[in-house]
Amino acid sequence: MATITAAQVQELRQITGAGMVECKKALTECEGDMEKAKDLLRKKGLATASKKSGRIAAEGQVHAYIHGGGRVGVLLEVNIETDFAARTEDFKELVHEIALHICASSPQYVTRDEIPPQVIEREKEIYAEQLRLEGKPEKAWEKIMEGKVKKFYSENCLMDQPYAFETKITITDMVNNVTAKIGEKISVRRFVRWELGEGLEKRVYDLAKEVAAEMGPK
C-alpha cells in the first residue's frame, strides 16, 4: 500500500475543495495517484467546490450574533459570488450556524495559513519535551507529534474544527456542502469574538450547551 503524505492530502484538498478526511481516503483508495483521486472525489460529488476555486467571492454577509444578554458577541464575514446567492436561506443559515459555532468553540484563526510559524514551532517544542519526559522512543516522536499538531489545528482553526453541534462534520465540510448546493464559491473571510470578563477557557463547554439549547432540536 502506498504511503500517503500530508503534503499530498493538502494538495488534493486545494485542487478539489474536498475535506481532508475525504482527500486522504481517496488517495489511499487510489494508491497515491492524484489524478485518479480527483476523479474519485468528483464521482462521489465531493469535488464540486473545486470548480469555484478560481472565482472571486466579493458579495456575502456580515453577521452579528449576541449571546447571553450581551455576554458574548461574534461578528463574522462570509463571502459568496453574487448578491442573489447571499440572500438565499441556505447561505444565511450557514453564516448563522458558523457564528453560533464560533461563539461556542472560540477558534483563534480562520485557517491554518493564518497561524504564525513560530506558534507551531513553540507547540512542537512543548510536545517534544512532553514526549521526552514520558520516555517515548525518539523514533516514534515524529508520528506522535504529527497527530498532536493536527489536534492543535482542530482545536484552534475554524475551518478545521468539528461543528460544535454535529461533530461528525467540520466547518469546511459545511461550507463545501452549501457550495455544492448553491453552485457558488463561499469563503469565510474573518471573524472577531468578544466575551465579557475573565476565565474564557473555563466557560467554553457551558457556552456550547447554552447555544445548543437556544437552537433547539433539529
Boundaries of every domain in the chain: 6-52, 59-112+157-215, 116-152
Res 198: pLDDT: 44
Q: Is the pLDDT of residue 53 over 80?
A: no
Out of 3.30.465.10, 1.10.287.70, 1.10.8.10, 1.20.910.10, select the CATH number for domain 6-52: 1.10.8.10
Q: How far apart are alpha carbons 93 and 99 in whole angstroms? A: 10
Residues 6+ apart with CB under 8 A from 125: none
Out of 3.20.20.70, 3.30.479.20, 3.30.565.10, 3.40.50.12780, select the CATH number for domain 59-112+157-215: 3.30.479.20
Q: Is the pLDDT of residue 144 over 70?
A: yes
Fold agreement (6-52, 59-112+157-215): no
With a pLDDT cut of 90, the percent of the chain lying above it is 36
Structure confidence by residue, pLDDT tens digits, 83-120: 899 999 999 999 999 999 999 999 999 998 898 889 98
Q: Where are the alpha helices (DSSP H) in the chain?
A: 6-16, 20-29, 34-43, 83-86, 89-105, 117-134, 141-156, 171-182, 200-215
pTM above 0.75, yes or no: no
Mind giving me the DSSP string for 130-194?
A: HHHHHT--GGGHHHHHHHHHHHHHHHHBGGGSEETTEEEEEHHHHHHHHHHHH-S-EEEEEEEEE
